[in-house]
Structure 1
Amino acid sequence: MEVPMKNICFLVLFITLGIAGIDGVYGDGECGKSSPDMEAFKLAPCASAAQDEDAGVSDRCCSQVKKIGQNPSCLCAAMLSNTARSSGAKPEVAVTIPKRCNIADRPVGFKCGAYTLP
């Protein structure tokens, strides 16, 4: 009877550590507990602006970029995410959006993958 109880205790400990690892390590990425793909959904108002540098940038887009851009690493991860790419966003165009929104405190020169925020 003692052996199965040890196995059960080990299993409970293993599950507890696994859950703590998911919340503590895997949940805290560039965008905190949110994934870059989830943040990219918030940038939906920027879809046309991320595909064409000559397209207008809406106030809703600029508002979201300013909010997410408080964490430049998260903004870059969202702009370079699979969700952004699958929506047709061009990374070289997407990184120009903060400048096109005239965001004064944007992270100029911030390295965003292979691109640099202007």
Structure 2
Amino acid sequence: MEVTMKHVCLFALLLLATEVVNGAGECGRVPVARMAFQMAPCASAAQDLQVQVSSACCASIQKMAQNPGCLCAVVLSDMAKSVGVKPEVAMTIPKRCNLADRPVGYKCGGYTLP
């Protein structure tokens, strides 16, 4: 059976549609709310620039900063807002953790990662 470009494109479109149906989003298949829950160690540091960022928070941010779209979605999520996260403060956490590989300049809503 000969595989044509038409069949390859159709297969790719079906895979993409399956990902959308299965809930793949900013954080992959993990819901943003669940990722926000994983950021609990950062709650106080995301509300006040004067609060020292904990090592637990920096460990969580280091993983999440590898996917800046997910980090952005978490910071701007309803769950984050409900616990008092200030996006303009939360966006400074990767820098406050001194992460060398942080996504500098990434635009997130009206905010930019420093």
TM-score by length of 2: 0.82
Secondary structure of 1:102's match? coil
Deviation beyond 4 Å, 4+ runs, structure 1: none
Larger Rg: 1
- Structure 1 partner of 2:6: none
Tell me how far apart the structure 1 counterparts of residues 59 and 73 of structure 2 sit (CA, whole Å). Answer: 18
Structure 2 residue runs of 5 or longer lacking an equivalent are: 1-16
- Are 2:111 and 1:115 equivalent residues in the alignment? yes
Q: Which of 20, 27, 34 in structure 2 is aligned with 1:25?
A: 20
Equivalent residue letter for 1:45: P
Q: What is the Cα deviation at residue 73 of structure 1?
A: 0.3
CA shift digits 1:53-76 (9 cap, x unpaired): 110000000000011111010011
Q: Which of 32, 35, 47 in structure 1 is aligned with 2:31?
A: 35
Equivalent residue letter for 1:89: V
Q: How many residues align?
A: 98
Equivalent residue letter for 1:74: C
- Structure 1 partner of 2:9: none
TM-score by length of 1: 0.79
Please report the RMSD computed on the Cα atoms of aligned residues, expressed in angstroms: 1.4
Tell me how far apart the structure 2 counterparts of residues 115 and 86 of structure 1 sit (CA, whole Å). Answer: 19
Structure 1 residue runs of 5 or longer lacking an equivalent are: 1-20
Please identify which structure carries the higher helix content. Answer: 1
- Structure 2 partner of 1:60: 56
CA shift digits 1:7-39 (9 cap, x unpaired): xxxxxxxxxxxxxx6x52041100000121111
